[in-house]
Chain A
C-alpha cells in the first residue's frame, strides 16, 4: 500500500519507468567489496559487476545513496550508483499502481534463471501487504545463507522478522524501518475544537472510536472535517481483525472491516469528510495549508515523507525551506489515536540466483543492522528505524524533537506503538483484498449503490484478481 507517488503521477504508468543505463565496464577484475564493508570480506570470491535493485519509488534509493558506506558516485539522473569497488548499482523503478510493480517483478523473477549474470535481479524490495507471496517462494534467499546472522539482527523488532519468515522458519528479508501508525492532527484545529493542542489531551479525547466520532461531530460543528476521505481510517480497522483475509480458498470479511464501512458511511453522510481517496490530489491538498481536516492516520514513513511534503506551501524542490512559516510546517502533532495499527513497511530481499551475494549481505547489514547508520537515518529524516536500543535511546532523549511536529518527540510515541504491532493476521492476499475492498465500497459511500451491490462488486473483483478464491463470507 505504500504508493508514495501520488496517484496521478503513478497513473503515468503508461510507460513504466524502467530506468535503464549502460552498464559501464570498469577496469580491473572484480573483487568482493572491501573497504568499509569488512563484514562482507568473509564471502570473498568473484562477484558480478552490476547490482540490480528493483523497487517502486525512490525512498530506498535515497537511503542507499545517502547512507550506504560504499557509495562513490551517483549518476546525474540517479539511474545508477557507482560503488567504491567499481560495482555499478542499477536501479529499476516501477510504480506500484494497479499491480504494475509486482507484474514486472514477477516476470523478471520467472526469467531469472535464464538471464545473464549482469541482468539477474540481485535485490528487490517488497512491502507488508504482499510480503508472503515472495517470502513463501523459492525466489527469495534465506538471509542466513548470505551470512547475516541472528545476532546481527538481534536489535530489530521481532514483528519485522516474523513477517518475512517463511513456513520453514527461514528469514527471507530484512528492513531498516518499523512502521507503527499514529494519528497526526493539526494543532490549530485541535485548539479550536478541543481547547488544547497538547498530545496528551488530544489523545484522551480520541482514546476510542466512540470518542473519536464525538470529536468528529464537534469538529463538523466548527466547519472542519474529521478525516479527509474514505480510506483514511481503513488501516486502523483492518489491522485489528481477528483472522487473516483468506482461509483456504474462502475470503472471510472480518466484523471490524464492516465497522469501517459503517463509520465511513456515517462520516460521509454527515459531512465529516471531504470524500477523497488515498493518494488522490484532493487528499494531498487536504494535508496542506488550504486543508480543513482535523487529522490523518499515518505511519512513520507517511509523516516524514508524505505528510511533510504535502504540508508545505512551497515544496522543497522549488526552494521551499523546512521551517515554520512555509505552509503549515510545525502545525502537526501526533497521538496514538483510537487503536494501534501499522501501515506499510519495506523489506529488502535477496533474489535467488544473485551473482553478488556478499555485496547484498553487506547492503542488508549496513542499512538494517548497523546501529550508527540506523540512528543517523532517524536523526536526519525522522524515519523510524528498525533498531530497538537506538530508538529507545532517542525516545528517552528530551532534547530530541521534530520541528515539523512543533518540537514533539514523536519517536517516543512510535516506540510505544511499535511494541504493539501484531502481524500475525498478515497474508499473501492482503494487497488485493484491501485495494478491492476500498474500491468496491467507494461507490457505496458515494451513494451510487446500496450495501449489497457493493458487497457483490467486491466478490466479483476479488475473484477476478485471484481465480483460486471461490467464496466470500460476510460477517453476520
Chain B
C-alpha cells in the first residue's frame, strides 16, 4: 500500500467523489427513483377500489388520453390565473419597496423592523394562513360582520361562493405570503449594484424614476429571472392555500381547482396511473416554461451586450 502511494501521484479526486456522494445518494433515493417510477406508472392502470388494489396493468397512453379529454386545460388556466394575479402585484410592490429601502437619499428609519414585518406572513404555515382566511371571510365571519355593521353592505357578501371572491382571496394570500420574501431578495440585488453608478446618475441629474428604470432594473435582471422562475414553479404547484380555503373542493364550479388539487383528487382512490400522468405533463410544462423564461431573459441581455460590443468596435 505504502509503496503504491509513494509511487504514483497522490490523487485527491476520490475525496471529491466521496464528499459529493451523500448528495447523490439522497438525490437518487428521494428524487430520481420516485421520478422514474412516477413516469413508469403513468402508463399503467393502478388504483384502489375500496380495499382491493386494481393493477398495475399496462394501458399504454390511455391515462394521457383521458387526461386531455378531461378539464385539464381549465385547471391549467386556473393555476396560471391564480399565479399571475398574485404575482404581478407582488413583484411591483416588492420592486417599489426594495427601491425605497435601499435608496440612500430617503433614509427610511426602522428598515430592519419593516423587513421583519413584511417577512412575517411567510413564517406562518400556508395551511394555517388559509384557515385563518377561511374563518375571517366566511359568510358570517368577522369581515362580513364588520362590513354589515359599518353599513357598507346590507347582507353579508359570500366571498367563498363567488369565483372572484375565492380566487381573489387565494391571490391575496399568495401575495401577502411572498412579497416580503421577494422584497428581501431584490434588496440584496439592489445593494449589490456598485453605488458609484447611482452617484454618477445623480450628478448627471437623473430623476428617481430614471435611476430606477435605467440603472436598478437592468442591473438586477439576473435576480429578477430567479424570482420569476422560482415563483412560477411555486405557482404551478399551488396547492395548500386553495385546497384549505375551499375545503378541498376547488369551488365554485371548479374555478379554483389547480393542477395539483386535480392530482390530489385522484389520490382519494390512490390512482397512481392518472396522478402519474398529471405529474409528467406538469413536469414537461414546468420545464418548457422555465427554459423559455431563462433564454428569453438571458438571451435578450446577451444579445444586447453583443450589439453594444459591436457598436463599440465600429
Contact = CB atoms under 8 A, between A and B. Distances in A.
B102 interface: no
B254 A457 contact: yes
Contacts of B249: 439
A361 interface: no
Contacts of B51: 106, 109-110, 133-134, 137, 139
A117 B247 CA distance: 37
Contact of B269 (A136, A275, A446, A466): A466
B271 interface: yes
Nearest to A102: B268
Interface stretch (A77-85, A253-261, A276-284, A323-331): A276-284
B141 to A, nearest CB: 8
Given A11-B131, A139-B51, A461 B252 contact: no
B304 interface: no
Interface residues of A, number: 40
A476 interface: no
Contacts of B271: 464, 467
Interface string B126-146: 011001001100111000000
A211 interface: no
A282 B139 contact: yes
A275 B158 contact: yes
Interface string B249-262: 10111100000001
Interface residues of B, number: 37
Secondary structure of the A side of the interface? Answer: helix
Contacts of A110: 51
Q: Which 3 A-B residue pairings sit nearest by Cβ, starting from the closest?
A: A464-B265, A133-B50, A14-B127
A20 interface: no
Given A11-B244, A106-B51, A464-B266, A443 B251 contact: yes
A460 B163 CA distance: 19
Given A14-B125, A14-B244, A446-B252, A464 B138 contact: no
Given A106-B48, A282-B140, A467 B248 contact: no
B131 A448 contact: no
Interface in A417-476: 428, 432, 439, 442-443, 446, 448-449, 453, 457, 460-461, 464-468
B139 A464 contact: no
A442 B251 contact: yes
B253 A443 contact: yes
B277 to A, nearest CB: 12
B274 interface: yes
A99 B269 CA distance: 10
A449 B247 CA distance: 19
B248 A98 contact: yes
Interface string B46-86: 01111110100000000000000011000000000000000
A291 B261 CA distance: 35
B71 A460 contact: yes
B161 interface: yes
B162 interface: yes
A215 B48 CA distance: 46
Contacts of A285: 140
Nearest to B266: A464
A443 B257 CA distance: 14
Contacts of A7: 247
A448 B252 contact: yes
Given A14-B127, A276-B139, A285-B140, A428 B158 contact: no
Interface in B156-172: 158, 161-163
A171 B70 CA distance: 41
B48 A11 contact: no
A432 B248 CA distance: 14
A445 to B, nearest CB: 9
Nearest to A139: B51
Contacts of A98: 247-248
Nearest to A469: B49
Contacts of B274: 467
A457 B128 CA distance: 28
A8 interface: yes
B251 A11 contact: no
B253 A448 contact: yes
B159 to A, nearest CB: 12
A12 interface: yes
B278 to A, nearest CB: 11
Contacts of A428: 50
Contacts of A134: 51
Contacts of B252: 442-443, 446, 448-449
A460 B253 contact: no
A275 B249 CA distance: 17
A281 B160 CA distance: 14
Nearest to A461: B265
A448 B161 contact: yes
Contacts of A449: 252-253
B257 to A, nearest CB: 10
